Amino acid sequence: MDLTISEIKNISKITKETFNIDLSYFGSESLRSRLRNVMSAYECKNGENLVLAIQAKKITKDDFLSYFSVPYSEMFRDPAMWRKLKKELIEKVKDYKPYKIFIPSCTTGDEYYTVLVLLNELNLLDKVKITVSSWSDKNIETIKDVKISTKKVELNRANYKRFEGKDELGKYFESNKLKTLQSNTKFIKVDFINSELPTNQDLVIFRNKFIYLTEDAQDKMVDKLYECLKLGGKLIIGIKENIYLNNSVKEKFIEECDSERIYKKK
């Protein structure tokens, strides 16, 4: 199932006109892969079929965004980063009332569940306010319901073991335990580039997402995440990403831990 440049342009045009979704923020390969996901979900053999399905209103905006999303992560991905964050939270949370964490652009909830497990094991859940955003109601409901892909179970357990967790990860999925830990979480539906985002946050976790964006969109996103944070707040991105996307960023953030891509707002 391939897509020509012409087909991608036509799909981008119709999604902008019909859904007010700007696909130009995404790099070409990422965009092509995401559109294939949508086409597969609706059994579209080519780009023209997808355009016709959108025009015929067989696809809703929310469903398009849900299938367009990438289930890219797993729990406790890059365990060394989470071990470092554990130490950070132990040292910092007691000084804040409350400590605020923002996890934007969630698709599967893996990083959110990781934060819940981490805070639970540190007995800090009642001292932290979490905000989770997604651009799809369908994604938000999936995250709330704690629907974990069976393909990720063993990988999640291996990551948790390397993280040096206190318990057995499987216990968090028994008797809906992860659902019971969500009381201090607010879920919001927003376009992660164009919408207003929460402000005065102590920590923003935006990992492994810059790589899917164009350089222009990366710059815009850096500026928006900067505005989310309070002075001295921390931003964590993926270990294969680089926040120094333009010269102005160097004036806004201090590189606190290059190996784990943790930055502090000046």
- Stretch 3-18: mean pLDDT, rounded? 95
Q: What is d(CA 18, CA 32) in angstroms, rounded to the nearest whole number?
A: 19
Q: Name which of 137, 143, 136, 144 is nearest 65 in CA terms.
A: 136
Pick the range with the lowest mean pLDDT from 34-38, 190-194, 207-211: 190-194
pLDDT of residue 1: 65
pLDDT of residue 186: 97
Q: Which CATH number fits domain 79-265: 3.40.50.150, 3.40.640.10, 3.40.720.10, 3.20.20.220?
A: 3.40.50.150
Q: What is d(CA 230, CA 171) in angstroms, rounded to the nearest whole number?
A: 35
What confidence tier does 252 reach under pLDDT thresholds 50, 70, 90? confident
- Stretch 214-230: mean pLDDT, rounded? 90
Q: Is the pLDDT of residue 229 over 60?
A: yes
**Considering the chain, what is the average pLDDT of its residues?**
90
Q: Is the dihedral of CA 204, 77, 87, 157 positive or negative?
A: positive
pLDDT of residue 241: 84
What confidence tier does 36 reach under pLDDT thresholds 50, 70, 90? very high
At 98-122, the pLDDT tens digits run 899 999 999 889 999 999 999 999 9
- Stretch 147-155: mean pLDDT, rounded? 84
In the chain, % of residues over pLDDT 90: 66
At 166-179, the pLDDT tens digits run 888 988 887 788 99
- Amino acid, single-letter form, for residue 71: P
Tokens of 261: 């891509």
Domain boundaries, the chain: 5-68, 79-265
